Structure 1
Amino acid sequence: MALNNGSEHHAPYWRESFNPPGDERDEAWAGGDPLLGFTFDGDTPPDPPRYLVKHLVPAEGVAMLGGQSGAGKTFTLIDLAVCGARGAPFFGRRIVEPFGTLIFAAEGAGTLPGRIEAARGVKADGKRLPIAWMGAVPNLADFEEVKALQPKIRAIDERMREEFGVRLGLIGIDTLAAAFALKDENDAAEAQQALRHLRMLGDPIGALVMPVHHYGKTEETGLRGSSAYRGGADAVLSVLADRNQVTGEVNERSLNLAKSRSGEEGPVAAFSLRFVQLGIDEDGDAFGACVVEPALDAPPPSTRKAPVRDPAAIVALKGAFDEAMMNDGRDVFVMGDTSGPIIRAVTVEQIRPEFRRRYASGEIDSDKAANTVRQALKRGLAACTKHGFRTGVWGGEEWLWKA
């Protein structure tokens, strides 16, 4: 191969080495442009992202709606459907264009009529809305079943355009686990196949598919099962709440954007569920359903700082102090000065037995346990002034009292 002295242009070494010379090489390239399918910077101007709800819900693809049981996921889906039908803001975010919604209710289908009626009664003056649903949902893990649904989805889209003047823009799946007979939620291959089938439902008409999915045992685990659900989704909305698993009590609900390919992620707003009466049953009892009420003026619970927990030594010290005050508290002069103020206090020796009982050392060996407790009490006394206590030594005793 001739050296390139700069006087003439030579093909790069890799091209001469890996492509046949002369006519054979020309015939090889004749099969098509080798750069076909590649885009170079500057060739294509960026397009703005398309949304159903501005900066929150994409116009098409797959957006997961996740959360723990009882947090309000289905109510949130219905609220999105009602806001979308009216073109009214959803959690304060603009609906780009009004749209219709189809819900595949693989679980809880019997509750949908009441929930939708309650929501449209509060937010749409009771008017009929472009919302449809199916209760007997086929197995969406079956490719043929998904194909069979495609013409039905097109027919629903056509009816919504004719009757309401809007397109079918949102397809909800409630829930992913109930609609897909998955063998293993943790299997990445099954998760990827489920995502492909979800896109098959929405892509032919340009609709967004929003499957409702449960979170794991805690909200920190995110969407239950394989990480492919989050990785393959275009967006993830999370409905969070503080739920007491024993009593079922739920507080501090909030909507959050946990993932977005084009928008800023983070908390959206707090919300509550308000019961709306729909009628009276045969026993004279009221029945109805809940509707979502966003709290746009309040900071989302997920942005609030969790209260700082007291160290274990302080917790034990506070409990021991309260117990000792009830049994042994005395009115004494501060620092023994009879001209000074009188306070109600106890000695450290009086709280020591109760502190020992309350502080769990975790040690099996009794000597080690006793030493651990002594050190914990020492730490607690050293830090107690930061927790509303005062200490002082007089009359041969160390005293402790509330500031």
Structure 2
Amino acid sequence: MTDATKAINALQSIPPDLPRDEWVKVGMGAHAAGVSFDDFDAWSAGAGNYDARACREVWRSIKPGKGVGAGTLYRVAAEHGWRMGERPQQRPMQAPRKHAEPPRKPAPGMSPAEVWGRCEAATAEHAYIVAKHAAGAPLDGLRVVPAGDPLRIAGQSMAGALVVPAYAPEGELQSLQLIPPPGAGKKLNLPGVPMVGASFTVGDMVAGAPLYLCEGIGTAWACWQATGHAAVVAFGWGNVRKVAEELRQSDASARLVLVPDVGKEESAADIAQALQCAVAYMPKGEERNFDANDLAQREGGDVLAALLEAATEPAPPPLPLSVAFADELPETFTPPDELVEGVLTAGDGSVLYGDSNSGKTFFVIDMAAAVARGVQWMGRNTEPGLVVYLAAESPASVRSRLQAYQRHHGVRVPNFAIVQSPIDLFDGDADTEAVISVVRQLERQRGQKVRLIVGDTLARLSAGANENAGQDMGLVVRRFDRIRSACNAHFLLIHHSGKAAANGARGWSGIRAAVDTEIEVTDSPAGRCAEITKQRDLSTKGQRIGFRLDTVTLGSTKWGAPATSCVVVPADAPDKPQGKRLSEVGGAVLEYLRTQPAGKKKREVVEHFQPLYDKSAVYRELKKLVVAGQVLECIGIVTANVEVRNGAN
């Protein structure tokens, strides 16, 4: 960042509507830091009490090397949040402060319309037009102050000055720029009327054609002559960004080309990046303020045209979200990467749930061990890799079940890591990052990729959270996704069924929506089964995997009794039960009756569920269960029919 660019950025970070004494000090600091009058004037124009004449008079009164230095500018900017290298905040136009003087009205005969109305048509013989070699440029939109006109600005007579109208974005005349013949004075803006956002266009805008954005009309003439394309005058570099914003807002697809003078390159690059404009830079090594008109006069319009044609656009900033366009997708289809064939997809998330003692943990350990070994599981291929098992519920139980697995299969499973520390994915991010760190360290130590992370169970991983509240479980899901994506591993959560087993997993339904795969494990008189109840990217939804649990003796207790565990053995999947899914009330009633082998009077069942459920709803669901054969009724006593346990899906 150049000193001038740094100073301009600092200046733009300060609200211009300061008390007069503070505004003057900032102006002195800006002057000392190398800010131009145009930039100071454009900044000052953002104040509600802006006075162009006062702005110029203050600037002219500043003596280089005396009074306030550049440090004041940076100190005030820092007080308003500016930091070196940061872009200034875009501050809205502020209302005048109560103690500020009201803006001055133009003196009689000094309004833009009055001055414009008494001017004469411009001709190619005007000395400024001749000096800029602008013969042939369109002049019908320009005028000249008549000889003998009393108009004076900052003590300088404007008689004979070329008048360039400055139009607001809506098209009305906003201000005027007056350019005396060469040697007769400086170009000046009409006092009392700001230039902010105003512009003048040389040539006709054509949709799809380049549109050149320049500081002054001399540069705009040169661009138009060299290319035939329209060029927009911004009346000073400090106004270029505002004009560019207006043009971009009116036509988001327009090809805007900034044509900065030498010394304004970094500022132009910033504007181009923010508004997606191209930039035509002057040749390197030229003196400060060298512009397109100077180049055209020295080397000809063809050279300038080539330079403008070569204008480059900055690389677009990266999108904050990943975006893919449909027409850019490859012709060949890449199927989902499967971790366990037809069951789990690599890098995704899943939930496996079931009743207590249904065999769900044995089932998961058996599948995870197959991944760790890189062997087939239940006739399905697996992608080998490390397994990290978060044994939040009972590490000792997981250890014994793996011992049983290894003894039964006569193997060792070296790539199966059991995390025995408590893990909390609800209250804070520390444990989340700890899991990610453990995964990365294990990968480095073992020289293998972690393919599968198991969370046992969701309830223990989210202790303290309300399982039915989206606000709480949403935090858990976010951290679940953080681990899964950071580790690029499949994350499987073991969960419990709800009170009504037929209604799915316990708690917030958003858990199901957040995962790619859902598996329900059931235990019925017909056998144990794992059914894929949701599958986002594979076609295996509805597939049922049968299994049984065989007992393995690991040793003896201190009382001499056999110490046993179980292992999963493939078995035929039981037929899928037919019938409608139970309602919440019906499922709760059926589960309650299963715990009452002697049965209950219907009245007692209704009283048990008060005030949780309305008594009419309980009676109605009891009747449905009896009709379906899932509940038996005899002389007013109802009991669960054990022959059709879990008979509703």
> 2:369 is matched with which residue: 82, 93, 97?
82
SS at match of 1:119: helix
SS at match of 2:390: strand
Q: Partner residue of 1:20?
A: 250
Query: Deviation at 1:183?
Result: 2.8
Stretch of structure 1 that moved more, 254-263 or 136-145: 136-145
Amino acid at match of 1:199: D
Going from structure 1 to structure 2, the CA distance change for 1:20 and 1:170 (only over 3 Å counts) comes to same
Q: Partner residue of 2:265?
A: none
Q: Partner residue of 1:288?
A: 564
1:60 equivalent to 2:347? Answer yes
Question: Residues 139-150 of structure 1 correspond to what in structure 2 (within 5 A)?
Answer: 139-141=424-426, 142-150=428-436
> 1:263 is matched with which residue: 538, 552, 562?
538
Going from structure 1 to structure 2, the CA distance change for 1:33 and 1:86 (only over 3 Å counts) comes to same
> 2:421 is matched with which residue: 136, 142, 146?
136
> 1:220 is matched with which residue: 495, 498, 502?
502
Going from structure 1 to structure 2, the CA distance change for 1:146 and 1:10 (only over 3 Å counts) comes to same
Larger relative strand fraction: 1
Going from structure 1 to structure 2, the CA distance change for 1:178 and 1:285 (only over 3 Å counts) comes to same
Question: Residue deviations 1:141-197, cap 9 Å, x none?
Answer: 221221133222211222333xxxx42211111101111124311112322221221
Going from structure 1 to structure 2, the CA distance change for 1:111 and 1:35 (only over 3 Å counts) comes to closer
Amino acid at match of 2:468: N
Query: Deviation at 1:228?
Result: 0.8
Going from structure 1 to structure 2, the CA distance change for 1:140 and 1:183 (only over 3 Å counts) comes to closer
Q: 2:440·2:487 contact (CA, 8 Å) conserved in 1?
A: yes
> 1:184 is matched with which residue: 459, 466, 469?
466
Higher relative contact order (CA 8 A, sep 6+): 1
Matched residues in 1 for 2:487 and 2:251: separation? 49
Amino acid at match of 2:361: T
Query: Deviation at 1:118?
Result: 0.8
Matched residues in 1 for 2:430 and 2:523: separation? 38
Q: 1:117·1:126 contact (CA, 8 Å) conserved in 2?
A: no
1:231 equivalent to 2:513? Answer yes
SS at match of 1:301: coil
Q: Partner residue of 2:454?
A: 172
Query: Deviation at 1:119?
Result: 1.0
The structure with the larger Rg is: 2
Q: Partner residue of 2:484?
A: 202
Q: 2:373·2:415 contact (CA, 8 Å) conserved in 1?
A: no
Q: Partner residue of 1:254?
A: 529
Matched residues in 2 for 1:32 and 1:278: separation? 65
Matched residues in 2 for 1:269 and 1:122: separation? 21
Gaps in structure 2 of 5+ consecutive residues: 1-205, 209-245, 257-271, 278-313, 580-649
Going from structure 1 to structure 2, the CA distance change for 1:188 and 1:159 (only over 3 Å counts) comes to same
Matched residues in 2 for 1:238 and 1:92: separation? 19
Q: 1:68·1:218 contact (CA, 8 Å) conserved in 2?
A: no
Question: Residues 309-388 of structure 1 correspond to what in structure 2 (within 5 A)?
Answer: none
SS at match of 1:266: coil
Amino acid at match of 2:574: P
Going from structure 1 to structure 2, the CA distance change for 1:33 and 1:279 (only over 3 Å counts) comes to same
Matched residues in 1 for 2:252 and 2:547: separation? 71
Matched residues in 2 for 1:229 and 1:277: separation? 37
Matched residues in 2 for 1:156 and 1:56: separation? 25
> 1:273 is matched with which residue: 545, 549, 558?
549
Matched residues in 2 for 1:17 and 1:72: separation? 67
Going from structure 1 to structure 2, the CA distance change for 1:281 and 1:126 (only over 3 Å counts) comes to farther
| Structure 1 length-normalised TM | 0.62
Q: 1:107·1:135 contact (CA, 8 Å) conserved in 2?
A: no
Matched residues in 2 for 1:305 and 1:21: separation? 62
Matched residues in 1 for 2:508 and 2:473: separation? 7
Q: 1:279·1:288 contact (CA, 8 Å) conserved in 2?
A: yes
Query: Deviation at 1:271?
Result: 1.0
Question: Residue deviations 1:344-367, cap 9 Å, x none?
Answer: xxxxxxxxxxxxxxxxxxxxxxxx
Q: Partner residue of 1:398?
A: none
Question: Residue deviations 1:32-68, cap 9 Å, x none?
Answer: 7699765443311242201111121111121111112
Amino acid at match of 2:556: I
Question: Residue deviations 1:246-298, cap 9 Å, x none?
Answer: xxxx7621011111111120133211111111112232211121011121xx3
Going from structure 1 to structure 2, the CA distance change for 1:259 and 1:138 (only over 3 Å counts) comes to same
Gaps in structure 1 of 5+ consecutive residues: 1-8, 243-249, 307-403
SS at match of 1:88: coil
Q: Partner residue of 1:327?
A: none
Going from structure 1 to structure 2, the CA distance change for 1:24 and 1:167 (only over 3 Å counts) comes to closer
Matched residues in 1 for 2:247 and 2:526: separation? 69
Going from structure 1 to structure 2, the CA distance change for 1:99 and 1:34 (only over 3 Å counts) comes to closer
Going from structure 1 to structure 2, the CA distance change for 1:290 and 1:208 (only over 3 Å counts) comes to same
1:118 equivalent to 2:404? Answer yes
Going from structure 1 to structure 2, the CA distance change for 1:304 and 1:283 (only over 3 Å counts) comes to same
SS at match of 1:254: strand
Identity %: 27
Query: Deviation at 1:22?
Result: 9.4
Stretch of structure 1 that moved more, 132-141 or 221-230: 132-141
Going from structure 1 to structure 2, the CA distance change for 1:22 and 1:102 (only over 3 Å counts) comes to closer
Going from structure 1 to structure 2, the CA distance change for 1:68 and 1:94 (only over 3 Å counts) comes to same
Amino acid at match of 1:301: P
Q: 1:176·1:212 contact (CA, 8 Å) conserved in 2?
A: yes
1:98 equivalent to 2:384? Answer yes
Matched residues in 1 for 2:564 and 2:463: separation? 31
Matched residues in 1 for 2:375 and 2:434: separation? 33
1:50 equivalent to 2:280? Answer no
Going from structure 1 to structure 2, the CA distance change for 1:113 and 1:10 (only over 3 Å counts) comes to same
Q: Partner residue of 1:41?
A: 326
Q: Partner residue of 2:395?
A: 109
Query: Deviation at 1:116?
Result: 0.2
Going from structure 1 to structure 2, the CA distance change for 1:153 and 1:238 (only over 3 Å counts) comes to same
CA RMSD, Structure 1 to Structure 2 (Å): 3.0
